A and B are shown apart, each in its own frame.
Chain A
Amino acid sequence: MTEMQRLKKEMLRGAVRENVELLDDRVYLERRFRRAEKRWRWPVRVLSAAAAAVVIFLSVNAVSTGGGEKPEVLVVTPRTAFQAPLSGPHQAPRAIAPALFSLEVGKVVLDPGHGGADPGASAASGLAEKEVTLDVARRLRALLEDARYKVAMTREGDRGLVLRDRATFANAERGDLFVSIHVNSIPRKDARAVETYFLGAADGPQIEEVASLENRESGYALSDFRRLLEGVYAGVRQEESRRLAGEVQTSLFAGLHEANRELLDRGVKSAPLAVLIGTEMPGILVEVSCVSNEEEARLLARADYRQRIAASIFQGLRSYMDSREPAPRTAGRKKEKGS
């Protein structure tokens, strides 16, 4: 046997061993999950029945007491994560129902896209995305602060920030919502559109393209990827982000369509945007206009149109926030001391 044949034999043995271990892992995991399923089947049924009984009891009690002040009870819905079918080793855990958490929105982090040496998309007139996003964010901040929400901005002036720093800032500020503001540039110059993204897998190559453009200069290292991707499908955050995106997109389109009749509603989309992967709170990225369209670029240069964008996003945020709270606020939030 030649030296090369010996080496090849040795290496083949290594490759086969690794694959057999992989197979053993799979068999082990399948067995373990089957056992887990059996083990949890009865306790889960018992827990589900108990939870249902509690719900019925509370409902009857609320009616009999004339519906006084709502009791502070965490209602566990019968369908829990334990009931997710465990047919295979890669079954993702079922998303936790967001309704389990009664969480208020106190602080909003606004992220004006691009900045500094990175102008973002540019109009033929020279209008840069970074100017528009900052101006809209400032206007949105004023509206939110008037309604007594706390606001933090990832950048206050014309400075560049990698996506990682934007996400780190939002997390350090302990924001409850994250709104990244961008302006689109699309190949079809005649198209005028608004769209809103939340975190998830890209729905196609065009969305991948948007994601790869928006993910430039992320500042993340390869070693961060596993941790980052583990965050992508975190159920609650994703579901809340999707709802937030829906409210903002609806409001934004309705608000702008009045002044821009040819505007297209490109809807809510999911994409693996790095800035949304790194943030720990529900977050969205709003493409508020298309600077590639001459008419929209002209509108974007106007202060009243930017104010309309800010107001429309604000309405969307407000709808989302109100839908989360026990009773809709009619007056502004009570301002916290020192805020």
Chain B
Amino acid sequence: MAGKKDLLHVGIDLGTSRSAIAASNGSRHVVESYVGWPVDMVARKVVKKSILFGREALDSRPMLDLHRPLERGLIKEGSEKDEAAVRELIKHLISLAAPADGQKVNAVVGVPAEALRVSRQNLRTAVKGVADALMIVSEPFAVAYGMDALLHTMIIDIGAGTTDFCVMNGRYPTEDDQRTLTNAGDSVDDQLMMLVKARHPEARFSIHMIREWKEAHAYVGESPGPVQVTAPVGGKPTLLDITSEMRKACESLVAPLSETMLDLLSRVEPEFQEKVRRNVLLAGGGSQIRGLAGVLEKTLADVGGGSVRPIEDPVFAGAIGGLSIALDAPGEDWEQLAG
């Protein structure tokens, strides 16, 4: 059996938009979930690499066969290229964690809560050979584990492709304890794109600019101040006011999130409902939407009140949780999960 020093444990949060890794050697990295291959020899000469990842890939996209391989946090079905892209992405993440020569890697990968069994199989197939042993867990479970929030807690993990709900009842969560919605970061981007286009038809902007604006200014409820962004109009950088569009796009999440939260709460054993209501945690990039926790608390007020709070490190919470799982799992368990 390998000793602790011969092993590198990693937790990976595999996301539609960003993927993060936390490793037992202390390294933490996050990359945008893009993988690109140069389209021809000329492109290869220009980019000077055989494969590019994350922001670097996005910035060189005209010269690349670019893939965002994860659909709702899972490998897109039916595409060998996307399967290869996810393998390369995980390989890249592990290489960022810099395992020592000959060091074995045990990886815990977080995927959306309602991931289909076959998709988990796809993931396992894609990662074959990249890590020495692999465990796949639901993202909200990884977050809860990392925060010791395993009892009477609801995790709402708002990612780019999906929003995952998970009630922690002190047992390993089953399908009944979890929900996945496709109302998430990407759906807010689509809404915002449409609304800004309608208000400023003369302005030119891309979905990537929309994402950056959202990440900087997302809010619901009361405006924290005017939301102004710069985009070219007739070739000239122009200041655009998108305050109301930002609120409307972000608030498109409120109704589905509130309904699902209440629905899951109603399924908790009656004597524990109040405890869960008082312990709702928002994770994922979407937890940074200003005012969202307050709006969800208002929803809870209708059923007796509760507390909703964003977690402190939404970017790495899933990966850190995965790492905790990896470190806690005994060696004999990892032996079962090898290959």
- Please report A residues at the B interface, Cβ cutoff 8 Å: 4, 7-20, 22-23, 25-26, 88-90, 92, 122, 124, 185, 187, 189, 200-201, 204-205, 208-209, 212-213, 216, 222, 225-226, 229, 232-233
Distance in angstroms from B285 CB to nearest chain A CB is 17
Docked-complex contact B121 and A19, CB < 8 angstroms: no
Chain A residue at smallest Cβ distance from B82: A201
Which of A14, A90, A124, A226 lies in contact with B172, CB distance below 8 A? A14
B151 near A: Cβ within 8 Å?
Answer: yes
Point out residues on B near A: beta carbons under 8 Å.
Answer: 34, 61, 65-68, 76-79, 82, 116-118, 120-122, 124-125, 134-137, 141, 145, 148, 150-151, 170-172, 180-182, 186, 190, 193-194, 197-198, 201-202, 204-207, 325, 328-329, 333, 336-337, 339
> Which 9 residue pairs spanning A and B have beta carbons closest together?
A14-B172, A16-B333, A7-B150, A201-B79, A11-B172, A233-B78, A19-B135, A212-B190, A209-B207
Pair B172/A10 contact, Cβ less than 8 Å: yes
Closest to A233 in B: B78
Q: Are B337 and A26 in contact (CB under 8 A)?
A: no
Q: A16-B329, A204-B67, A216-B194 are in contact. Are A90 and B121 (CB under 8 A)?
A: yes
A residues less than 8 Å from B150 (CB atoms): 4, 7-8, 11
Name the distance in Å between B220's Cβ and chain A's nearest Cβ: 20
Contact between chains at A124 and B337 (CB < 8 Å): no
Distance in angstroms from A12 CB to nearest chain B CB is 6
The answer on a CB contact under 8 Å between B135 and A4 is no
Quick check: A18 and B201 within 8 Å, CB to CB? no
Nearest Cβ on chain A to B118's Cβ, whole angstroms: 7
- Would A10 and B171 count as touching, CB distance under 8 A? yes
Once the chains bind, are A201 and B76 in contact (CB under 8 Å)?
yes
Q: Do B68 and A25 touch across chains, with their CB atoms under 8 A apart?
A: no
CA distance A18 to B197 in the complex (A): 46
Q: Chain B contacts of A7 at CB under 8 A?
A: 150-151, 170
- A4 in contact with B78 given A14-B172, A89-B121, A124-B202 (CB within 8 Å): no
- A23 near B337 (CB under 8 angstroms)? yes
Give, as a whole number of angstroms, the nearest-CB distance from A238 to chain B: 10
CB nearest to A118 among chain B residues = B194
Say yes or no: A213 contacts B194, CB within 8 Å. Answer: yes
Given A20-B336, A229-B77, also A212-B186 (CB < 8 A): yes
How close is A71's CB to chain B, nearest CB, in angstroms?
Answer: 37
Interface centre among A22, A88, A200 (most CB of B within 10 A): A22
Q: When the two chains form the complex, which single residue of B182, B186, B205 contacts A187, counting CB atoms closer than 8 Å? A: B205
Please give the distance in Å from B327's CB to the nearest CB on chain A. Answer: 11
Q: How far is the CB of A134 from chain B (nearest CB, A)?
A: 20
A-B contact pairs, 10 of them (CB 8 A): A7-B151, A10-B172, A11-B172, A12-B328, A14-B171, A23-B124, A201-B78, A204-B66, A222-B180, A226-B116
Closest to A230 in B: B77
Choose among A8, A26, A204, A213 the residue that contacts B124 (Cβ–Cβ < 8 A). A26
User: In the complex, are the beta carbons of B206 and A187 less than 8 A apart?
Assistant: yes
A90 touches B118 (CB 8 A): yes
Indicate the member of B122, B172, B194, B337 with the most A CB atoms within 10 Å. Answer: B172
Return B237 CB to nearest CB of chain A, in Å.
Answer: 15
State the CA gap A7–B137 with chains docked (Å).
16
CB distance from A232 to the nearest CB of B (A): 7
Chain A nearest CB from B279 CB (Å) reads: 15
Provide the residues of chain B in CB contact with A13, threshold 8 Å. 172
CB <8 Å contact, A15 and B201: no
Q: Are B137 and A15 in contact, with the CB atoms below 8 A?
A: yes
Q: Which residues of B contact A12 (CB under 8 A)?
A: 325, 328-329, 333
The docked-state distance in angstroms from the alpha carbon of A208 to that of B79 is 14
A229 CB contacts on chain B under 8 angstroms: 77
> What residue in chain B is nearest A238 (Cβ atoms)?
B78
Closest-CB distance, B21 to chain A (whole angstroms): 19
Residues on the A chain within 8 Å of B190, using CB: 212-213, 216
Chain A hits for B171, CB < 8 A? 10-11, 14
Q: In the complex the two chains form, is A4's CB within 8 Å of B148's CB?
A: yes
Closest residue of chain B to A18 (Cβ to Cβ) is B172
- A16–B121 touching, CB < 8 Å: no
The reply to whether A22 and B136 contact each other, CB–CB distance below 8 Å, is yes
Picked from A22, A205, A208, the residue with its CB within 8 Å of the CB of B61 is: A205
Residues of B within 8 A of A25 (CB): 117, 121
B178 to chain A, nearest CB (A): 12
CB proximity of A9 to chain B, nearest CB, Å: 8
Residue of chain A at shortest CB distance from B81: A201
Find A19's partner among B34, B181, B206, B337 (CB 8 Å cutoff): B337
Tell whether, in the assembled complex, residue A8 and residue B66 are in contact, meaning their CB atoms are under 8 Å apart: no
B68 touches A208 (CB 8 A): yes
Cβ contact within 8 Å between B78 and A205: no
Complex Cα distance, B249 from A216, in Å, reads 13
CA distance A217 to B131 in the complex (A): 40
Residues from chain B with a CB closer than 8 A to the CB of A212 are: 186, 190
Known A212-B190, A216-B190: A22·B120 in contact at CB below 8 Å: yes
Inter-chain contact A222/B194, CB cutoff 8 Å: no
